[in-house]
């Protein structure tokens, strides 16, 4: 018999040599990736299944993780997407009438390592002070020097195109709304069928789409077709969409030249709504530049201000890059939202081109629902 999981040692070592020992859970494996932190109090399953976390080791700042288990209907994709998970305390006996398993087994089945017993407060403070770092998390090797060498040698996130690794292989239709999730029904892998001939057709460019976004569009009466991130503008326009959503996703937006070119070919021809990575891609398509943030925004408590109305929203975030609003072409696009913590751009509008975008996640999943009405506004304009 092997060593019980609770007593197996594990180790996370950052590229600067800072080491964080703990106990292993999840898979007996090793992950080398960028280490980032998420401040969400709940929604750990939605976090780790968000494709935007591809290539990242996620540190949860909430100290108690796993207490309500996992439920397939809560996944934002088909399974865990992060490279590894770091928590202060793992709950191994979850309590929820919806739970169909525990977090330990969930990660083990996905071959993803986890580490518990880590001083996540100290780790988070270090990442805030130094900036996001590459790290090596191992549940099989606890030699600090070995793990540091691997972390230091790993390619950085800047310049890395990960969207092509999480996008779908072929177009598909999506017809599942939030009602099915609340009822606890299984989520189909590729549901099909229109919501009605008169319903607007929204084509979603999948750069790492979250199911919550698709469900919001279905709830608003849209027919939804999802296409790969590498789809050219001509192929999308051949579908005769009433609107296009460019989704969230992982990696450096400047490395997704194919998606930037696609959006550029859509501008002025069909309404476009960009979310997170989609926002950055729209900014690049309009001629702006993007840059990497020191440690990014990840969590469900980021305040943003609507520059048109003056209203402040609490929003859900998951991004490490941002658009430089000073590089937006004057007279074509303008800032829409601003982050009240650090002043970075959180949205833009190019009304003459019928294009808009937000850096945050209006669908939440997890997070507050302050900005769900942005979907309503977008769909309402499609019906005009």
Q: Is the dihedral of CA 356, 358, 364, 366 positive or negative?
A: positive
CA separation for the pair 384, 381 (Å, rounded): 5
For residue 165, report the phi and psi dihedrals to the nearest 5 degrees.
-90, -15
Beta bridge partners of 203: 225, 244
Determine whether 361 is an active site residue.
yes
Candidates 30, 76, 116, 363; catalytic one:
363
Chain centre to alpha carbon of residue 53 = 6
Closest CA to 21 of 147, 142, 175, 197: 142
Which residues fall within 8 angstroms of residue 107, CB to CB, at 6 or more apart?
25, 26, 27, 48, 80, 85, 113, 114
CA separation for the pair 99, 107 (Å, rounded): 15
Q: What angle do CA 100, 105, 111 make, to 5 degrees?
A: 130
**What are 60's two structure tokens?**
């949860």
- CB burial readout 15-33, b (16+ within 10 A) else e: beebebebbbbbbbbbbbb
Candidates 276, 279, 297, 317; catalytic one:
276
Angle between helices 373-382 and 211-219 (to 10 degrees): 50
Determine whether 319 is an active site residue.
no
Candidates 297, 313, 317, 361; catalytic one:
361
CA torsion 138-141-145-151 (nearest 10°) is -30
CA separation for the pair 270, 285 (Å, rounded): 15
DSSP-derived pairing of the beta strands 223-228 and 243-246: unpaired
Chain centre to alpha carbon of residue 207 = 10
**What are 267's two structure tokens?**
């501008």
For residue 28, report the phi and psi dihedrals to the nearest 5 degrees.
-80, 95
Determine whether 71 is an active site residue.
no
Contact 174, 216 (CB under 8 A): no
Catalytic residue list: 276, 361, 363
């Amino acid at each position: 018999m092997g060593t019980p999981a609770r007593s197996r040692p594990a180790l996370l070592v950052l590229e600067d040599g800072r080491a964080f020992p703990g106990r292993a859970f999840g898979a007996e494996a090793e992950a080398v990736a960028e280490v980032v932190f998420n401040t969400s109090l709940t929604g750990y399953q939605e976090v780790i299944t968000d494709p935007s976390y591809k290539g990242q080791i996620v540190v949860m700042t909430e100290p108690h993780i796993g207490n309500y288990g996992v439920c397939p209907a809560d996944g934002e994709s088909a399974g865990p997407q992060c490279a590894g998970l770091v928590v202060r305390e793992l709950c191994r006996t979850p309590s929820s009438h919806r739970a169909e398993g525990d977090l330990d087994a969930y990660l083990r089945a996905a071959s993803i390592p986890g580490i518990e017993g880590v001083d996540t407060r100290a780790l988070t403070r270090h990442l805030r002070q130094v900036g996001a770092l590459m790290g090596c998390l191992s549940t099989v090797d606890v030699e600090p020097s070995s793990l540091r060498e691997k972390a230091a040698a790993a390619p950085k996130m800047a310049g890395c195109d990960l969207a092509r690794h999480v996008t779908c292989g072929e177009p598909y239709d999506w017809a599942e709304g939030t009602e099915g999730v609340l009822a606890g029904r299984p989520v189909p892998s590729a549901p099909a069928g229109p919501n009605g001939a008169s319903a607007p057709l929204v084509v979603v460019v999948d750069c790492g789409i979250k199911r919550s976004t698709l469900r919001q569009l279905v709830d608003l009466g849209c027919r939804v077709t999802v296409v790969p991130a590498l789809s050219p503008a001509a192929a999308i326009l051949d579908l005769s969409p009433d609107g296009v959503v460019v989704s969230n996703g992982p990696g450096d937006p400047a490395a997704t030249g194919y998606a930037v070119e696609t959006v550029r070919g859509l501008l002025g021809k069909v309404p476009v709504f960009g979310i997170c990575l989609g926002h950055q891609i729209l900014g690049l398509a309009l001629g702006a530049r993007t840059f990497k943030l020191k440690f990014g925004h990840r969590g469900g408590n980021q305040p943003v201000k609507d520059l048109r109305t003056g209203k402040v929203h609490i929003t859900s975030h998951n991004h490490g890059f941002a658009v430089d609003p000073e590089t937006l072409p004057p007279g074509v696009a303008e800032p829409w939202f601003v982050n009240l913590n650090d002043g970075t751009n959180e949205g833009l509008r190019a009304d003459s081109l019928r294009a808009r975008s937000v850096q945050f996640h209006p669908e939440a999943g997890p997070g507050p629902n302050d900005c769900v009405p942005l979907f309503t506004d977008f769909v309402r304009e499609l019906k005009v």
